[in-house]
Amino acid sequence: MAADLYTDFPERFEQRTRVYLLDNTGNRRELTIEQHWFHKGRVVLKFAGVDSITDAEQLTGCEVQVPASDRAPLESDAVYTSELIGCRVLDCGRDIGEVTDLSFEAGEAPLLVVREGKREHLIPFAQEYLKSLDTAGKRIEMALPEGMLELDAPLSDEEKQRQHSRD
């Protein structure tokens, strides 16, 4: 199975044998890594008991997870992204919502997927916006640039009318 690398510690595959795979329905299963190698910026994993392409195809879309007890220690100013899930995000004291996911598709900084009700914001988790971080207290305080939260806001009735009149 080929997997994208989202770790700062790829060398830990040398010692790591136990991982969990989380599928898109929320089911998690433990697997043992028999072999691994790196290829074109990804890691290829051979799991015990997964001995055919058909077996491996069953794992497509799964997220490879490491038990918290097996994680590498981090520097004092670093955080595991999984610790951000469930945190409340505040912008200069204003509650924006809860981090429900992270996206790594948009550039240097991962995007916090912040949801409040039906509204969803994509906020760069960048040092220049971060005021304080308390993962134990599930709180992220930020100072976002003016207008950032309105970038993905739904159109107002007036904006819809103006857009409709141009059609």
CATH 3.40.50.2300 fits 2-69, yes or no: no
User: Following DSSP, what letter does each residue of 108-125 receive, concatenated?
Assistant: SSPEEEEEETTEEEEEE-
pLDDT of 109:
83
Q: What are phi and psi of 163, to 5 degrees?
A: -65, -40
Angle at 37 between CA 62 and CA 41, to 5 degrees: 70
CA distance 43 to 29: 19
pLDDT of 153:
58
Mean pLDDT to the nearest integer, 98-120:
87
Question: pLDDT by residue (tens digit) across 48-77?
Answer: 999 999 999 999 999 998 888 888 888 877
- Residue 160 pLDDT greater than 80, yes or no: no
Is residue 99 packed enough to be buried (19+ CB in 10 Å), middle (13-18) or exposed (0-12)?
Answer: buried
> In the chain, which segments carry CATH 2.40.30.60?
2-69
> In the chain, which segments carry CATH 2.30.30.240?
81-145
Question: pLDDT by residue (tens digit) across 131-144?
Answer: 999 999 999 999 99
CATH 2.30.30.240 fits 81-145, yes or no: yes
What is the band of 167 on the pLDDT scale with cuts at 50, 70, 90? low
pLDDT of 19:
92
Question: pLDDT by residue (tens digit) across 1-24?
Answer: 899 888 888 888 888 889 999 998
Residue 158 vs residue 140, higher pLDDT: 140
